[in-house]
Amino acid sequence: MSAAELAILVIDENAIRASIIEEGLREAGHARVTVIHEVNGVARIIETLQPDVIIIDIENPNRDMMEHLFQLTRTVSRPIAMFVDRSDTASIEAAVDAGVSAYIVDGLRKERVKSILDMAVSRFNAFSRLQRELADARSALEERKLVERAKGILMKMRGLSEEEAFALLRQSAMNEKKKMADIAQSIVTAARLLL
């Protein structure tokens, strides 16, 4: 997706600061930029606009506003860049936990907006890839455990060796055009009901 195609939502209560961000984005070739100046009702706006990237600028963040924004960002699976004038360790940790991809303290200059946006998108994509890989690894581990349990049940109930039990599972999966984990799940469930 090219820069011009990215839909970017800028949330900034300060019109002057928002214009700095918007100008930096437009100079970088971003044509689809929406600026809102009110934090309330932003969830509905995000749902309607479906932006690809969200930039939040908070001149003087207070705890309630930050918590409101962090609750919002936790539910939105998109790259988020946040500019703040001042911060503390707790706010930074909360931002990271909430899924903020770039958290910039006292760095709002239009020349930096493009590189910060690019970094937020890259970091978001890398983090998403890691989450997918972790989920895939967990799923593979659970499937392996399930197959091991099913093999144990077959070995015990039918007097098979481990190799024979595995071959039976594999053959059943091929015959039924299912994953071995699905066949294993059926065996484990049936054994639970019968034993």
How many angstroms separate the CA atoms of 182 and 184, rounded?
Answer: 5
Terminal C-alpha separation, the chain: 56
Evaluate if pTM is beyond 0.85.
no
Encoded amino acid at 157, one letter: M
pLDDT attached to residue 42: 79
Rg, C-alpha atoms of the chain = 25
Q: How far apart are CA 26 and CA 43, in angstroms?
A: 24
Q: What is the pLDDT of residues 25-62, one digit of tens each?
A: 888 888 889 898 877 777 888 888 889 998 888 876 66
Domain residue spans in the chain?
3-108, 134-194
Q: How far apart are CA 143 and CA 140, in angstroms?
A: 5
Q: Note whether 3-108 and 134-194 share their fold.
A: no
Report the length, in residues, of the chain: 195
Tokens (6 digits) for 36: 């809102």
Domain 134-194 fold: Arc Repressor Mutant, subunit A (1.10.10)
Structure tokens at 78: 């998109």
Q: Does residue 4 have a pLDDT over 70?
A: no
3-state SS class at 5: helix
Fold annotation for 3-108: Rossmann fold (3.40.50)
C-alpha span between 103 and 82 (Å, rounded): 5
